[in-house]
Structure 1
């Protein structure tokens, strides 16, 4: 009788343990969402003075005068958008090429070595990228690349002006280097998820390696690759230290990539500790709120695109 009664007791304990574990893990998951909601609420509350004072003019005007109490965030929004988009345009083809080389072209033993080295770039602190950008890249741009661009492509508004070195172009290059590991890593996983029989079918029909990649591999993973690129965009939009050190920090809008500029994270990092008035702090907090919302939207869109690959036809993971 003791043995027969022990089994239901053990089963009941196991069920209770599973239930407790389920609720504890659910609490952990909900706590993350609660922290995010608290951040949004607190930033919105701190932004109210600027929202009430400037309204929509805050994102459509360019004047930023801390002494006069007039704040317009358009130059910072412009700088963030331009630097991130151009960095993404440069980084995406490079990342796709690197991922294709690792997964489809190089021997597996070399791919196993190269892939971790590429991903290791993401672990380098951004301030190290910034130091390298200030001490090495910016002088090189000023003495070599920017004079060449002015001489040969100066008729294009993007490349007009003086070679400052620290400029929008420097920020674009530093962001490109920083987002390449992220896009490459995710793209590699997307390409590895392409079913082997799909590749073999293309080869059986007489396709070359390039034709197999173009017709069988890239179309299958295009949503995941796009999601990887958008995740890289989210990383680029929120980057602070490296961009602050190389972009020049000039609050103006210029079509030229050779001119100094400013971004939303940079102005927060530079001015928040020095803000002496409530309106100034509120304006910086509103910039932070805009940055947070934009980053959340970008990352959510990227996750949806990657999820569409994992749940799409073929069952890619």
Structure 2
């Protein structure tokens, strides 16, 4: 009996991942990726499995095939590498506490002797429910229109509380920056110098009728962030493809209501949970919740002249992402 148990244990450890060490969502997503490897979906040696967003509802992972085991634009190393067949699945999350060291990564993959230059033949997203029982795989090309997961509204089921399969979200909040006045210095109270927010909103349907709606009337539809009785209206300043660029109205009272200490976290929560589209339907405003894409682990601070000052980071982002500024620095660690 003992011999049979040891044999079963041995074979359970041969697979690409061990169920006991994974969350149900991650385990289900890994199984999808392994099936894609079996189908020869990836031309390159490394498969980057990047945790785009994860919450109490589920997770969304971005899948790409590349010739390096890290995210090139941010120099993020994987926290785990799983060898499956002749491919390396690199698990990366900006919220992971520990990355694999350069030495360990080299020992596992010998990536420095690989062919130089990334190879990408597409991008995929995998949406998984928290219990791992429901999944959705979508494929896209890396174009401006479709490289973001929220241009596939059915993926929002896995991360958005108010998801409605019949009435899919019309808009999704993308990224944003905080703009302060030119007199601001880091030693002063940040909250008292915020002038406005700028950012982008995506609409999920490329044939959306937003551009044909009446924008001149004082009763036209609008976007806003709510904080109790305070309202911060978001004015659309420009458009390109499926993206609407906005600047918030001048409303000092709204920003003064934020806490003095680390007001950006409260603002982040408001944008995530309390951004709405108020659509005028026959003289009556109907309020629609706008999900937050939440794919970026930082947001910028700039002055009103457009100069970038510094970045702020979401809670939980690993420290090494905040400090690395060049490949030379990354390569020396």
TM-score using structure 2 length: 0.21
The structure carrying a bigger strand percent of its residues is 2
Greater relative contact order (Cα 8 A, min sep 6): structure 1 or 2? 1
